[in-house]
């Protein structure tokens, strides 16, 4: 399995043309009056969550947050105030069972100009459909193979699926570059002097509903890293159960067989299309 045929390449290209799906029409939009009080949609809520959310806000209103008939409204406020009040709401949703996999780690929500308006528990971002950010690193060998990690069966999201050499959500106060180098060490044991040689390779926007969870909206910052043929990845944080080194053709076959996480499938497909011969 060392060659990529035209039908396989066409299938990968079609995947990349459909990375950012619209929210289902029944999902409730979240309107935010930030950035000079210009209202914008910053998230979407699964309709299954709305009755609990409505009951909660009727019993105990939360400042800056109001549930209307057609949208959840977040008023403008200082980032520290919005963060505090959204955290109250997220904790209520957690108690209701709507935010699994709580991590005690915060993501920051940034507008398109890069300004931070609030930060919140990372697991809550999918429940509310807020846009998050992640770094993904393609590790490839001098011979042209690619390294993939297999996610631990204990992961709350996509256990046991194939992933990139390293990948992870970008925490508040991290840049994509800093995050990528940290994840390379934690997930694959890549030492700092090698991780420093990563090359930026673009960005993808992933948007998709997740049944029973919410709406996944994430900017994926992509990096490529050339590894020596004798390098063997080693996991340090318990989030990866093992690694495999395979050809681009086999990676493509595994993508089409739905063995990858959705994000890693797109990042790997992008790498294959940029590097196949």
pLDDT tens digits, 211-259: 888 999 999 999 999 999 899 999 999 889 999 999 999 999 999 999 9
Do residues 49 and 175 share a domain?
A: no
Q: Is the pLDDT of residue 3 over 90?
A: no
Do residues 92 and 163 share a domain?
A: no
Q: Is the pLDDT of residue 188 over 90?
A: yes
Do residues 122 and 143 share a domain?
A: no
Q: How far apart are CA 17 and CA 45, in angstroms?
A: 25
1 located within any domain: no
CATH number for position 197: 3.90.79.10
Q: Measure CA of the first residue to CA of the last residue in the chain; give whole Å.
A: 14
Q: How far apart are CA 249 and CA 69, in angstroms?
A: 50
What does each C-alpha distance from 22 to 18, 25, 46, 209 come to in angstroms? 10, 8, 13, 9
DSSP string, 150-184: EE-TT-SSSTT-EE-SEEEE--TT--HHHHHHHHH
Q: Summarize the confidence of residues 47-55 as an average pLDDT.
A: 96
**Domain with 202 in it:** 6-19+132-275
What does each C-alpha distance from 13 to 78, 192, 273, 277 come to in angstroms? 42, 33, 8, 15
Residue entry with tokens 């995947």: 15
C-alpha triplet 53, 55, 56: angle, nearest 5°:
65
Q: Which of 106, 131, 156 is the last residue of a domain?
A: 131
36: confidence class by pLDDT, cuts 50, 70, 90: low
Q: Which residue has the higher pLDDT, 251 or 101?
A: 251
Q: Which of 83, 108, 131 is the last residue of a domain?
A: 131
- Tell me what percent of the residues of the chain surpass a pLDDT of 90: 85
Q: How far apart are CA 26 and CA 12, in angstroms?
A: 29
155: confidence class by pLDDT, cuts 50, 70, 90: confident
Q: Which of 98, 113, 131 is the last residue of a domain?
A: 131
Q: Taken in order 151, 157, 162, 166, is the CA torsion positive or negative?
A: negative
Q: Is the pLDDT of residue 147 over 70?
A: yes
- Look at residue 22 in the predicted model and tell me its pLDDT: 92
Q: Tens digits of per-residue pLDDT, 66-86?
A: 999 999 999 999 999 999 999
State the Cα torsion 98-100-102-108 to the nearest 10°. -60
Collapse the DSSP code of 200 into the 3-class scheme (helix H, G, I; strand E, B; otherwise coil) and give the result. Answer: strand
Q: Are the beta carbons of 128 and 43 closer than 8 angstroms?
A: yes
Q: Summarize the confidence of residues 112-134 as an average pLDDT.
A: 96
Do residues 102 and 181 share a domain?
A: no
Q: Mean pLDDT over all residues of the chain? A: 94
Continuous H helices in 17-66: 50-59
Q: Summarize the confidence of residues 157-182 as an average pLDDT.
A: 95
Using a 10 angstrom Cβ sphere, with 0-12 exposed, 13-18 middle and 19 or more buried, the burial of residue 99 is buried
37: confidence class by pLDDT, cuts 50, 70, 90: low
Domain count, the chain: 2
Q: Summarize the confidence of residues 196-223 as an average pLDDT.
A: 95
Nearest by Cα to 269 from 47, 11, 3: 11
Q: Summarize the confidence of residues 101-108 as an average pLDDT.
A: 95
Do residues 126 and 104 share a domain?
A: yes
231 located within any domain: yes
Q: Is the pLDDT of residue 141 over 80?
A: yes
Backbone angles phi, psi at 253, to 5 degrees: -65, -40
Do residues 144 and 271 share a domain?
A: yes
Q: Taken in order 31, 132, 270, 151, is the CA torsion positive or negative?
A: negative
Q: Is the pLDDT of residue 138 over 60?
A: yes
Do residues 151 and 264 share a domain?
A: yes
Q: Is the pLDDT of residue 38 over 80?
A: no
Stated pTM of the model: 0.92
Do residues 54 and 68 share a domain?
A: yes
Q: Which residue has the higher pLDDT, 36 or 33?
A: 33
What token pair was written down for 74? 């977040």
């Amino acid at each position: 399995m060392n060659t990529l045929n035209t039908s396989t390449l066409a299938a990968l290209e079609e995947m990349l043309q459909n990375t950012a799906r619209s929210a289902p029409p029944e999902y409730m939009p979240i309107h935010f009056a930030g950035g000079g009080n210009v209202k914008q949609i910053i998230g979407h809520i699964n309709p299954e969550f709305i009755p609990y959310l409505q009951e909660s806000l009727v019993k105990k209103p939360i400042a800056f947050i109001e549930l209307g008939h057609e949208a959840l409204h977040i008023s403008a406020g200082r980032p520290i105030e919005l963060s505090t009040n959204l955290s109250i709401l997220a904790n209520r949703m957690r108690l209701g069972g709507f935010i699994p996999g709580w991590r005690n780690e915060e993501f920051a929500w940034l507008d398109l100009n890069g300004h931070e308006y609030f930060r919140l528990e990372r697991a809550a971002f999918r429940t509310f459909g807020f846009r998050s950010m992640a770094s993904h690193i393609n590790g490839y060998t001098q011979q042209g193979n690619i390294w993939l990690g297999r996610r631990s069966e204990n992961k709350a999201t996509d256990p046991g699926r194939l992933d990139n050499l390293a990948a992870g959500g970008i925490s508040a106060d991290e840049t994509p570059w800093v995050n990528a180098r940290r994840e390379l060490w934690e997930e694959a044991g890549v030492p700092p002097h090698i991780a420093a040689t990563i090359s930026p390779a673009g960005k993808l926007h992933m948007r998709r509903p997740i049944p029973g969870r919410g709406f996944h909206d994430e900017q994926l910052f992509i990096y490529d890293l050339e590894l020596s043929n004798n390098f063997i990845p080693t996991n340090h944080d318990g989030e990866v159960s093992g690694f495999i080194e395979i050809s681009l053709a086999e990676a493509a076959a595994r993508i089409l067989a739905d063995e990858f996480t959705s994000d890693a499938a797109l990042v790997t497909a992008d790498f294959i299309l940029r590097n196949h011969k």
